[in-house]
Amino acid sequence: MKKLIALTFLFLSTLAAQSQTLKNTSYKNQSGEKVLRFECTLPISVSEAWKLFTTDEKLKKWIAPLAHIELKSGGYILTNYDNSKSLSDSSSIKLPITSFIDNELLVLKVILNGNFVKAVRDNDKNLQEIIQFIKVGDKQTKIVSSMIGWGTGPDWDKTYTFFVKGNEWTYKELIKNYKN
């Protein structure tokens, strides 16, 4: 009996650890366009997961030390990774909120800054991040982040590679800090 309990505990512990693992499930859609996609499942309710993305206090725990959100269509998320700066500093990142559905969906327009070549910045009109909140159980929520609207060519390939690394780091921070 003790062996069965130990095996059950080991199985459940492994399952819990796997559910908090970040998975890169990127692909090309039926039009041949890249979809940069990351998925993870957190052991919290959908409403708790939603707050991680939609409240200043929770955003500051995992996305950036300086963060503010105006949650509305036409609103924005404003962040800065340098806490010696302010949110009004030119190094801040502003992500306009295209639309949202409470506890289900958050759609952000990605505006490329001066760190990217001009040709890419001038043609980023379709680049966006779609974040889905999927209830898996009462205390389990799957987060799916999909970036779409990529251009083509070597400069866009470099931009895509930048976001592969950046989004991986960001969502690993989410996994690491979701309960704080």
How many helices, marked H, and strands, marked E, lie in the chain? 5, 9
Query: What distance in Å separates the CA atoms of residue 154 and residue 156, rounded to the nearest whole number?
Result: 5
129 forms beta bridges with 108, 147
Domain 22-177: give its CATH architecture: 2-Layer Sandwich (3.30)
pLDDT in tens, the chain (180 residues): 444 343 334 334 334 444 579 999 999 999 999 999 999 999 999 999 999 999 999 999 999 999 999 999 999 999 999 989 989 888 889 999 999 999 999 999 999 988 899 999 999 999 999 999 999 999 999 999 999 999 999 999 999 999 999 999 999 999 999 875
- Rg of the chain on CA atoms, in Å: 18
Please tell me whether residue 151 adopts helix, strand or coil conformation: coil
Predicted TM-score (pTM) of this structure: 0.87
At 164, is the secondary structure helix, strand, or coil? helix
Classify residue 15 by burial, with Cβ atoms within 10 Å: 0-12, 13-18, 19+.
Answer: exposed
The helix (H) or strand (E) run that includes residue 23 is strand 23-24
Would you list the domain boundaries of the chain?
Answer: 22-177
The two structure tokens encoding residue 177:
């800090």
Q: What is the pLDDT of residue 180?
A: 52
